Amino acid sequence: MKTFNKRGDQGETSLLFGSRVPKSDPRCEAYGTIDEAVSALGVARNWVTPRIKPILLSLGEELFTVGAEMATPPEQYPQLVKRFKTVTAAMVERLEKLIDEFEAEIEIPKAFIIPGGCLGSASLDMARTIVRRAERRGVELKQAGMLPNDEVLRYLNRLADLIFTLARYEDKVCLVGGNKP
């Protein structure tokens, strides 16, 4: 398989199951933002403590499922459900359990924080802001009737909360361990 196919040279791309849309389509913006979030989590994985690395890897994998939902036209959603994983309430609950686990070990700031306590937390804060943008794009899709699964928005909301919590954990660890940039 070649890296390029020239089918997008005129500003169109394919959604899952073959529908062609302009690259400016809101679905492309939404799943493109998910792609950015996956990449940002990959960068963060290089800076965080070993405890968090496997969590970030699993989140990146789950975001491929989110992106697939955003890249599927609603009329073809039943095909997606038959052939691939979709975002579930259990996935959201897993994020909530992780938040609870890490919140038990840290004190959540009561005021806004300036990111940059250490490389791990700074990279997580960057990833969190991208996930929040993906969430906003998801809301646009939902409002336009292009996102059938309500769990996607719940997942993105909770994911941003988890990443915030992990960033605060990283701040605590780097301040105690002297792992500042």
Distance (Å) of CA 108 to CA 64, 96, 113, 130, 173: 29, 15, 10, 21, 14
Amino acid 93: pLDDT: 98
Residue 95 · residue 159 · CB < 8 Å: yes
Lowest-pLDDT range of 29-43, 50-64, 76-90, 104-118: 104-118
Average pLDDT, the chain: 90
Residue 174 is classified by DSSP as H
Q: For residue 128, give both structure tokens.
A: 């969190």
pTM tops 0.75, yes or no: yes
Burial class (CB in 10 A: 0-12, 13-18, 19+), 32: middle
Residue range 103-116: mean pLDDT, rounded: 88
Q: How far apart are alpha carbons 48 and 54 in whole angstroms?
A: 10
Amino acid 181: pLDDT: 45
Which of helix, strand or coil describes residue 23?
coil
What's the start-to-end Cα distance of the chain, in Å? 41
CB atoms within 10 A of CB 20: 12
- pLDDT grade, residue 7 (50/70/90)? low
Amino acid 87: pLDDT: 98
Residue range 120-138: mean pLDDT, rounded: 98
Cα angle 23-27-33, degrees, rounded to a multiple of 5: 90
What percent of the chain clears pLDDT 90, i.e. is strictly above it?
Answer: 71
Q: Which fold has domain 23-177?
A: Hypothetical Protein Ta1238; Chain: A; (1.20.1200)
